Structure formats: structure tokens, C-alpha cells
């Protein structure tokens, strides 16, 4: 596909634009020697809770589920979690850095077509972290699942971007580093670019992204070459 056929790019937030590594470093600060174990289980539970609660029809927002995941993780690892530490770790989510190449790549892409964010994050989380990074003006829309009360990879989440942007799904390029999110977007009908930042092996989900890249610069190169 030629990038000239696309009319907008929609980005996932956590792991795609924003680097959650600082949260993990902060875990190590509070729980020396346990940072890796905490951060790995925390991420597993954060996602698992979004899927399970969507399936059960028991939505709570991403901030709440991120807290729930941390509480479970600390209990599972027999680590005491004070309210002060929980607040401190959660506050990291509001001031995550981007991956290093992202600001310049987004600047190049924004010169070519409208950009938007579509994320599981709560509106407050997304607005604050985007503002913290001075990126608010890069995006035509910052879309949260919160109005729908369901999480990715429900097709209704991806559809909400089509409705909001007023652009056909075939003309939307969706960018995510989370493979399952890339697959969900592809199953819905977007043209999907998977940023495989961590050289992960693809899951077997019956559908695959259209392109695999390793940094956002490759997307900017592809878009500039085709538009």
C-alpha cells in the first residue's frame, strides 16, 4: 500500500508513543531488587484486567485498573504497598517520556496528515502526559475508550476513531507497538503498522499487521515517500 492512500494516522499511546520504562525504574527505587518482577507482573495484570472487565461487562477506567494491577502484584510478590508508594508510582504515568525518536517523527508526520491518539488510557491520563511532553498540538484528537466503557481490542473502540475523525477505516493508518492491539485494529479494518520495538515474536491470532517496523522514523520515511 502507498501511504498516499491514507488520510490520517491514529496512534496507540502506552508503549507506542510513551515509554513506560520510568515506571519500572521507579518500582526498583521503592522495592530494590524487585523492580523487574513488579513491572512485568503489573503490566500483565493491567492488560488482563482490561480484557476480563470488558468481557464481564464491568468496566472501570484505566487509571483504576492500573492501580488494581499494582495492588495485586505487590500482594502476589509479598511486598507491602503503602498508599504513598502507590500514589508515587501512579503519578509516573502522568509524566512518562516519549521514546527518543517520537517527537521528531510526529513533527514530520503531522506535516503530512492529521494525527490522533486512540488509547485505553483515561482522558485525564492521556491529556496530562501529552501536555507534559508538549505534544498536544500535534494531535487533532486524543481519544480515550472511556466514553465507550470497553477496552481494546473490541472493534467498537477502533470504530470510535472512524466516527470521530469522519474518515473511512480503509484510509486510516493505525500505529501500535502492542501486537494484540495491532491485530485488533487490523481485524477491525485499519491499515496497521506495528512498531516492534522490543523484537517480540508475533502472536498467533489469525490476523497480522500490514507492516512491521522498529521505530517511528520508519513510518515517517514511508509516509514522506508516498505522499
Just list the catalytic residues: 12
The answer to whether 96 touches 20, Cβ cutoff 8 Å, is: yes
Residues 6+ apart with CB under 8 A from 105: 215, 216, 217, 219, 220
Q: Determine the interface stretch with a copy of itself among 57-65, 98-106, 107-115, 169-177 (rule: CB under 8 A).
A: 57-65
Q: What is the signed CA dihedral for 77, 79, 84, 87, rounded to 10 degrees?
A: 0
DSSP helix/strand/coil, 9: strand
Q: What is the CA radius of gyration of the chain?
A: 17
Among 32, 57, 80, 198, binds a copy of itself (CB under 8 A): 57
Contacts to a copy of itself from residues 14-43, by CB under 8 A = none
Total residues at interface with a copy of itself (CB under 8 A):
37
**How many CA atoms does the CB half-sphere of 138 hold within 13 Å?**
22
For a copy of itself, the closer CB: 60 or 221: 60
Taking the complex as a whole, how short is the minimal distance between the CB of residue 148 and a copy of itself, in angstroms?
13
| Residue 149-188 contact track with a copy of itself, rule CB under 8 A, x = bound | --xxxxx------------------------x--xx--xx
Query: How is residue 134 written as a grid cell?
Result: 508538549
> Which residue, among 167, 222, 163, has the nearest Cα to 193 in the 3D structure?
222
Applying CB under 8 A, among 7, 71, 128, 197 the residue interacting with a copy of itself is: 71
- When asked if residue 212 is in the footprint of a copy of itself (CB under 8 A), the reply is no
Closer residue to a copy of itself in complex, CB, 25/202:
202
Q: How many residues are listed for the chain in this entry?
A: 227
List contacts with a copy of itself (CB under 8 A).
44-45, 48-49, 51-58, 60, 68-69, 71-72, 75-76, 151-155, 180, 183-184, 187-188, 200-207
Amino acid at each position: 500500500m502507498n501511504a498516499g492512500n491514507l488520510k490520517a494516522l491514529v496512534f496507540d499511546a502506552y508503549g507506542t508513543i510513551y515509554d513506560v520504562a520510568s515506571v519500572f525504574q521507579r518500582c526498583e527505587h521503592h522495592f530494590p531488587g524487585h523492580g523487574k518482577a513488579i513491572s512485568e507482573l503489573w503490566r500483565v495484570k493491567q492488560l488482563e484486567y482490561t480484557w476480563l472487565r470488558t468481557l464481564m461487562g464491568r468496566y472501570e477506567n484505566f487509571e483504576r485498573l492500573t492501580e488494581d494491577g499494582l495492588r495485586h502484584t505487590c500482594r502476589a510478590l509479598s511486598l507491602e504497598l503503602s498508599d504513598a508508594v502507590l500514589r508515587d508510582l501512579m503519578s509516573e504515568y502522568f509524566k512518562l517520556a516519549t521514546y527518543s525518536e517520537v517527537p521528531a517523527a510526529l513533527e514530520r508526520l503531522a506535516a503530512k496528515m492529521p494525527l490522533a491518539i486512540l488509547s485505553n488510557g483515561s482522558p485525564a491520563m492521556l491529556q496530562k502526559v501529552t501536555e507534559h511532553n508538549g505534544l498536544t498540538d500535534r494531535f487533532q484528537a486524543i481519544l480515550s475508550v472511556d466514553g465507550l466503557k470497553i477496552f481494546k481490542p473490541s472493534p467498537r473502540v477502533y470504530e470510535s476513531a472512524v466516527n470521530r475523525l469522519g474518515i473511512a477505516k480503509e484510509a486510516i493508518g493505525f500505529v501500535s507497538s502492542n501486537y494484540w492491539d495491532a491485530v485488533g485494529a487490523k481485524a477491525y479494518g485499519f491499515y496497521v503498522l506495528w512498531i516492534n520495538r522490543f523484537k517480540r515474536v508475533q502472536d498467533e491470532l489469525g490476523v497480522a499487521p500490514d507492516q512491521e517496523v522498529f521505530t517511528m522514523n520508519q513510518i515517517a520515511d514511508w509516509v514522506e515517500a508516498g505522499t
